[in-house]
Amino acid sequence: MTKPAYKRVLLKLSGEALMGDDAYGINRSTIERMVADVAEVAKLGVELAIVIGGGNIFRGVAPGAQGMDRATADYMGMLATVMNSLALADAMRQAGLTSRVMSAIAIEQVVEPYVRPKALQYLEEGKIVIFAAGTGNPFFTTDTAAALRGSEIGAEIVLKATKVDGVYSADPNKDRNATRYATISFDEAIAKHLQVMDATAFALCRDQKLPIKVFSIVKPGALKNVIMGDDEGTLVHV
């Protein structure tokens, strides 16, 4: 078997990716399919860490959060990521995978706190580490958490899993002539005003020379294709 292209990766999942066709919440069949994709990668011996968003949970309370203080809303969002992380870890357990959830905010009765040496130990032991609660600070997105944790654990690449199969020259839903980039540099993406990640996360990845691969988590097997170095999605590099 051909060896994986990467030894250690950080997978960034959006909360919305867990919804499937539902309006909000977690679609069980969707999360089980994603876990099956993760299991394929884990069997290759790849050390895998995951950061997951909370948008799917927060959507259900969003109408009541209108006019709310931004910091308060962000803390609610962090709690939503903890809920998603627990659901993902449980689905992994049922699939026979060993994972650990580590939170950036203290909820020790539920999940253990994030401690970098412990996270590295888990990865080296072959466990999947799920980083919850973003960075633990308001005003920072889970994209930034992915860039930060990816840098901290020495990930070779950040895999940004979305519902779109890469970075396009224009919105492919609005422009039929939009073309997907196979590769693009950080500087080119900035010059072309392409939205890959939020500005803080993007700048951190560029400064740390940490490449980003944008691909579709909706496509079965796409995660494995990325790990094997196949032409899947868009690679953003220095």
Detail the residues annotated as belonging to a binding site for ATP.
12-15, 55, 59, 162, 168, 171
Find residue 162's DSSP bridge partners.
216
Burial 85-97 (b: 16+ CB within 10 A, else e): bebbbebbeeeeb
Residues making up the binding site for UMP: 54, 74, 135-142
Find residue 157's DSSP bridge partners.
9
d(Cα 237, Cα 183) in Å, to the nearest integer?
8
Residues making up the binding site: 12-15, 54-55, 59, 74, 135-142, 162, 168, 171
What residues contact residue 191 under an 8 Å CB cut-off, 6+ apart?
Answer: none
d(Cα 136, Cα 203) in Å, to the nearest integer?
19
Q: Helices marked H in 47-158 — which ranges?
A: 55-58, 70-94, 116-124, 142-152
Q: Please tell me whether residue 69 adopts helix, strand or coil conformation.
A: coil
